[in-house]
Amino acid sequence: MKIKRALISVSEKTGLVEFARELAAMGVEILSTGGTASLLKKEGIPSTEVSAFTGSPEILDGRVKTLHPKIHGGLLFLRGNEDHEKQARENGILPIDLVVVNLYPFEQTVAKADVTLEEAIENIDIGGPSMLRSAAKNYRSVTVVVDPADYADVLENIRANDGGTTLKLRERLAIKVFVTTSNYDSAIANFFNREQETTCSFSVTMPIAARLRYGENPHQQAALYGRPGAGIAGGEKLHGKELSYNNLVDLDAAYQLAVEFSAPAVAIVKHTNPCGCAEQDSLAAAYRKALECDPVSAYGGVIGVNRAVDEETAREIAKLFVEAIAAPDYSPEALAILTARKNLRLMRVHAGDDRLVVKSISGGYLAQTADRATLERSQAVVKSQRQPSEEEWKALEFGWKVAKHVKSNAIVYARAGQVVGVGAGQMSRVDSARFGAMKAILPLAGTAVASDAFFPFADGVEEAAKHGATAFIEPGGSMRDADVIAAADRLGVAMVFTGVRHFRH
C-alpha cells in the first residue's frame, strides 16, 4: 500500500523539515497542525491544516484539534473490509497512511524546579497519544513514527518498496509507540503521585539502554534500562571495555558517595562498600588520602569523584589497576592518560534526581524515598561529659556521611576528610568495630567513629576506644543508651547523637 496521505504534528522538530520535504517530493499529501504547519509553510513545504481537512476549527486554546472522526476514522478503518470502507465513504473519511507525532514535553516540563501545577497540566498531551495509539492499533495498514531517529529508516523503506512500507517496519514502529505512550502515562502518574505518602499502584517503564553480557554471574541474563543524561544509567561511556552488571552497581555506589561532599572528594568502592574515601583541597590529594585507607582492596576497585578529573589526579589513578571511573568530566590531559589503559572504563556522569529507591523481592517490589538526610551540627546532641574538639567534630561529620553508604552494620573510623577503617556488613555491631580496626592500615589513635545505627551495648564503644578512637557519632535510641553514654564517660571519649539512622541493606 502506497503512502498517499500523512499527518504530521510534532513538538520535537529535529529533522522534521528534511523528512517532510522528502515526503512532499514523493507526492505525499501532508496534513499538519499548529506550530508544525507554521514551520512547513515557512520552509515552503505544502501542507493542509487539520482544521481545513476536518472542517472543524481548533478550539479550547488548541486542546481540541485532532480529536475528530475524520482523523481517527482515517487511521482506524480496516482497509479491505467492505463494511468499514463503505462507512468511510458515507462519512467522508479519507485514509491517513502515515502518522508522524511526538508528544508535549511533559517530563522536561515537570523536571523544572519552579514548575506550576497549571503548567504541568497544560503539557499533558491528549491528541498526540490518541493518534499514536489509533495508528499503532491499525499498523497492518498505517505507518506510525514517534521518534525522529526513525525518519531515515522510514524514507529508505518507502523508496525500496514502491512508495509503501513493509509490515515488519510497521510492527516495529507500532511497538515503539505503545512503549512511548506507556512511559508517558507513567510519568504523568508519577508526577501527580509524588506528593502522596503512598500510591495505589507503582510502575516504572524505561527504555533499554544496553544489553549486558550477563548479570552478577555468567549464568544470569541482564540488561540496563534508563534514560540518557542523568545518573550512572544515563551516563556516557567514553572509553574502555563493556560495562558489566557489577561495574554499574559499584559505579553507582562510588559516585553517590563522592557527590555527598562539596569539596573535592574521591570514593573507592569494592563490592558496593567504600574501601577508601577522602575530601581534600584538591582532587589529587583526595585520591591519595582515599587510597591510603586500604590500597590492597582498592586494587581492581571502582572510583567515583565529584569533580572533573585533572591531569595530576589521572596520573595518580593510572598507577593502580582500576576497573572503572565515574566523574562529571575529564580534562583533555586526563583523558589522554587514562585512555592509554585499554580496558579502563571511563564514565561521564551527571547527578540524577532519583526520588525512589526500588528493590525486588519474591513476588513484588519495595520502594522507598532516597536517603537524603544530612547532618547539621546544631541539630546533633552531645551526650557525653566531654565535648568533641573542633578536629573531632570535622571527623565525626565526615565519617557520618560515609557511614550512610556502608552496608549495615556499618562502623567507620575517620579523621577529618579521610576514612581510616571500615567495618561493613557484619551481623553484630561489635564485630563491625573489630573488623574496621583489623582492616585499618593507618593509625587509629585519635580517630572518630561513625555508626549507622545505635550501639545496642557498650561493647562496640569499648572495642573502638581500645584501638584509639576518641569520639563517636550514632543515632541514639537504644534501650541501653544510658549504658553506652556511661561507657563513653568512663573511657573519656566524646559521644554525639544525631537522631537519624542510616541503615543500608
Catalytic residues: 137, 271
Query: Residues 247, 269: contact at Cβ < 8 Å?
Result: no
Q: Is 327 helix (H, G, I), strand (E, B) or coil?
A: strand
Amino acid type, 394: K
Long-range contacts of 85-91 (CB under 8 A, 24+ apart): none
Q: Is 138 helix (H, G, I), strand (E, B) or coil?
A: coil
Nearest to 492 by CA among 395, 389, 410, 393: 389
CB burial of 161-196 (b: ≥16 within 10 Å; e: otherwise) equals eeebbeeebbeebbebbeebbebbebbbebbeeeee
Residue with cell 512503549: 179
Give 62's DSSP letter: T
Query: Residues 212, 245: contact at Cβ < 8 Å?
Result: yes
Distances (CA, A) of 247 to 79, 303, 320, 325, 405: 51, 10, 17, 10, 17
Considering Cα of 432, then 437, then 440, then 442, what sign does the dihedral take?
A: positive
Nearest to 79 by CA among 171, 35, 142, 152: 142
Task: Name the E strands within 331-393.
Answer: 345-348, 356-361, 364-369, 381-382
Distances (CA, A) of 288 to 316, 405, 410: 8, 20, 23
Bridge partners of 500?
A: none
Query: Residues 421, 436: contact at Cβ < 8 Å?
Result: yes
Q: Is 297 helix (H, G, I), strand (E, B) or coil?
A: helix
Query: Residues 345, 237: contact at Cβ < 8 Å?
Result: yes
